[in-house]
Amino acid sequence: MSGGVVSGGGVDVGVGGRAGVSVVAGAGTASPVRHIRRAPRIDAETHVSVAIVGAGACGLTTALMLHDAGVDCVLLERDAVPAGSTALSSGFVPAPGTRAQRAQGIDDDSAERFLTDIQAKAHGRAAAELARAYAGAVGPAVDALEARHGIEWIVLDDFLYPGHSRHRMHALAPKSGAALMAALLAAVESAGIPVVTRAEVDSLWMDDADRALGIGYRRPDGREELLGCDVLVLACNGFGGNAGMVRSLLPEMAHAAFGGHVGNDGSAILWGEALGARLRDLGGYQGHGSWVTPQGALMSWAVMMEGGVQINREGRRFHDETLGYSEAAVHVLAQPGGVAWNVFDEPLLALARGFPDFREAEAAGALRRCEGVAELAASIGCDPATLQATLDSMGSAAPASDGRVFRRALESPYFAVKVTGALFHTQGGLDVAGDMRVLRADGSAFANLLAAGGAAGGVSGDAVWGYLSGNGLLSAVAGGYLAARTAAAFIESAKENP
Ligand SMILES: Cc1cc2nc3c(=O)[nH]c(=O)nc-3n(C[C@H](O)[C@H](O)[C@H](O)COP(=O)(O)OP(=O)(O)OC[C@H]3O[C@@H](n4cnc5c(N)ncnc54)[C@H](O)[C@@H]3O)c2cc1C
């Protein structure tokens, strides 16, 4: 697609940058420079009904749903090949009441039940309107992707993720985010939706009435091109790839590994801050306490839920693993050396090997097999007697001091994988209404500026422990579905009232 020449007509409000004074970027940090250009119009050669910034699960879902509604759109993606955090993820999407659930005999789930689980995990602090909207939209979104775009879901029904009261985690057969991205991209390609790659969006064009007019994006050679639009959707995820913002907003994760996409640099928040948009839940994020080190891979929490434990260098357990992998990141980082060992036995090894990430970590040498407690203690570097006592306590019918109840003790041979705590993605972002319109500080909505997926504030409250597994792709898929519906209604009403 060819873009226009910069008209030079806009009044520029720059944000971020090394000398930025932004409260979110923090003074003196190297944030990308993002602009708001104020102008009565944008002189772009190309105009599209809906422009979508970011081609991860959220942007691609938005585009597919717009296509189904007969609305033209264009995706702008900074990378040469769209991947985002979505391709790095496990690709598990929680959704109630779907066709795939019913096909597997799970017929007692509902949006209401899912909403209860979301709020229980967040101790009631998840954004109420948004959580309700997502819980209601994600089932229809998952079904629509399947019925109209050939995304074939299976439901993971051999274990429950922490906080979920029903089996509702949907995945593609390979159980990977890379497979999900490939399927979404194939659907976008077969729908003929344009994806402009190597297009880093740096400017939002707005008129004085706060209506989005279009965007400016940079090409690798530094040229700026313009694209006009009727509706603008920000689907460019959060700030996990912006070290300065992580340091200032999530200090406990400042030195943690980041497992997500480094191109997610907080663009949406930087624009939002300059626009006077309301930001929400900036302290919320998805951590993970099972980031295999030094290999840098995810080991599924399924192993913990089914009886595995985390043991520190002193040979002790240090938290109730079944409460959640997100908060486990902080617990693991607080242990000596910031590491722990996931310890499990043969039946759990079989479960772990069902996940491609684990198989890769194993192939990279992460798995240690130990015939007995002495060998396991030597592997961990802890006192064998302390470790023996820790393992023995799992055989007791009484709950552990942290409240965890074990169904059985682990049996030798034991297996151990060294892990640390990592940041996976941020949950804070632009505050949005249930229809995904961005809200101003006073609570009023921008007419045609939407944000979804990780660009919007999530439904995990403002702390690491509020993250219910799957809240990330929930926001991306349900948010994309809702954003498309709002954008299509806006285009329709503009046609009726030109
Ligand atoms: C290891 C790992 C495992 C995970 N597993 C799960 C899971 O199983 N289930 C779950 O729900 N969540 C999971 N998550 C979280 C999940 O990956 C994210 O919440 C989700 O992918 C967000 O989707 P998105 O479309 O909002 O963002 P992304 O997929 O990150 O897409 C955003 C896109 O925007 C582009 N972009 C950013 N800024 C600009 C710009 N200025 N101009 C142009 N393009 C831009 C980026 O390049 C990127 O392609 C996991 C995360 C990690 C790291």
Question: What's the pLDDT tens digit per position in 260-291?
Answer: 999 999 999 999 999 999 999 999 999 999 99
CA dist 57 and 168 (Å) reads: 18
Q: Which of 125, 164, 93, 176 is nearest to 322 (CA)?
A: 164
Domains of the chain: 1-284+429-498 (3.50.50.60), 286-423 (3.90.700.10)
Q: Which of 471, 475, 113, 461 is nearest to 288 (CA)?
A: 471
pLDDT band at 28 (very low <50, low <70, confident <90, very high): very low
State the distance from the centre of ligand 1 to the C-alpha of 422, rounded, in angstroms.
15
Shortest-distance atom of ligand 1 to CA 94? 11
Average pLDDT over residues 58-63: 98
CA dist 432 and 435 (Å) reads: 8
The dihedral over CA atoms of 98, 148, 71, 66, expressed in degrees to the nearest 10, equals: 40
Element (H, E) at 301: none
State the distance from the centre of ligand 1 to the C-alpha of 179, rounded, in angstroms.
14
Q: How many CB atoms lie within 10 A of CB 202?
A: 21
CA dist 486 and 437 (Å) reads: 8
User: Which residues are CB-neighbours of 206 under 8 A, at least 6 positions away?
Assistant: 36, 37, 38, 39, 212, 213, 275, 449
**Which of 142, 161, 175, 237 most suits a substitution to test ligand 1, by most atoms within 8 Å of the C-beta?**
237
Q: What is the pTM of this model?
A: 0.93
Shortest-distance atom of ligand 1 to CA 87? 29
Phi-psi sector, 198: left (phi>0), alpha (psi -120 to 50), beta: left
> C-alpha angle with apex 453: 447 to 459, nearest 5 degrees?
95
pLDDT band at 40 (very low <50, low <70, confident <90, very high): very high
CA dist 91 and 288 (Å) reads: 15
Nearest CA to ligand 1 atom 52: 89
Q: Average pLDDT over the chain, rounded to whole?
A: 93
Q: Give strand pairing partners of 51.
A: 74, 232
Nearest CA to ligand 1 atom 4: 89
Answer whether 450's CB lies under 8 Å from 437's CB: yes
Query: Which single residue is written with the structure tokens 């955090």?
Result: 85
Q: pLDDT, tens digit, for every residue of 115-149?
A: 999 999 999 999 999 999 999 999 999 999 999 99
